[in-house]
Amino acid sequence: MEQPLRIQCILEALDRQDFVRVSELVERLAVSPMTVRRDLADLAEKGLLVRSYGGAMKGEAIESLFSFARRLERSSAQKEAICRAASRFVRDGDVLFIDCGSTLFRLCHHLKGRKNLRVITNSLPVVAELMHQADIRISLAGGEVVGERQAVYGDAAERQIGEYHADKAFIGADGLSLKNGLSSYDEQEAGVTRRMAESADRVYLLCDSSKIERDSYVRFAPLGLFQVLITDRGLPRTVRERYRKQGIEIIIA
């Protein structure tokens, strides 16, 4: 089994139970104990689990990785402020990409009442929130539906997104750093985000300050993928200036 699939299996096991043994993973993944320990070490370094004697324990990041409902409750005030600020860049008649994720979902509330919008998304909650708005047309990318993430992923979704062109893309990331760019917990999610950004005229990254200068599991794009970073007041001024020197416009919600 290739490492990306092993990583997914390990994280899914930890989402179901608080502790998983190396011996259990060896049997499940059909690899050597050394390979399992190496994977666990990589995940521990990224903060996704806590190493323990004979196995690994669930880390806090697992909670935000799998459940949309749990993620929606985290940092709600910051996310609301970020989306309110982002909505000011939307104009009547715009074609928008809206990425999946708990932060991006909150943008929907601020789009209601806009005229003649077209929204292209892979997020089921975004569709549910906007589908009854008479002046907003929605295109849902086709592909594999992942229930816990409440989104559509895969090659089919990426191909379809690539066939569209949008005025603006509103995207998210699980990690952002000057050294490594944008990163994600999930490779499929990263692929959809990247394709949205590549197919839009202007790209807005909505990211709360807790994710900035932190790297997640999959590095999927350089800083040049987006032009505007919208975040909260928790981002230190010194860090803001370092991003601005890279040509990134920063909006503090």
Q: Going from the N-terminus, what domains does the chain have, and what CATH number goes with each?
A: 3-64 (1.10.10.10), 69-252 (3.40.50.1360)
Q: What is the pLDDT of residue 244?
A: 97
What value does the mean pLDDT take over residues 105-114?
93
Q: What is the pLDDT of residue 217?
A: 77
With a pLDDT cut of 90, the percent of the chain lying above it is 64
Q: Is the pLDDT of residue 75 over 90?
A: no
What value does the mean pLDDT take over residues 92-110?
94
Prediction pTM value: 0.75
Print the SS3 string covering the chain: CCHHHHHHHHHHHHHHCCEEEHHHHHHHHCCCHHHHHHHHHHHHHCCCEEEECCEEEECHHHHHHHCHHHHHHCCHHHHHHHHHHHHCCCCCCCEEEECCCHHHHCCHHHCCCCCCEEEEECEHHHHHHHCCCCCEEEEECCCEEECCCCEEECHHHHHHHHHCCEEEEEECCCEEECCCEEEECCHHHHHHHHHHHHCEEEEEEECCHHHECECCCEEEECHHHCCEEEECCCCCHHHHHHHHCCCCEEEEC
Q: Is the pLDDT of residue 60 over 70?
A: no
Q: What is the pLDDT of residue 49?
A: 80
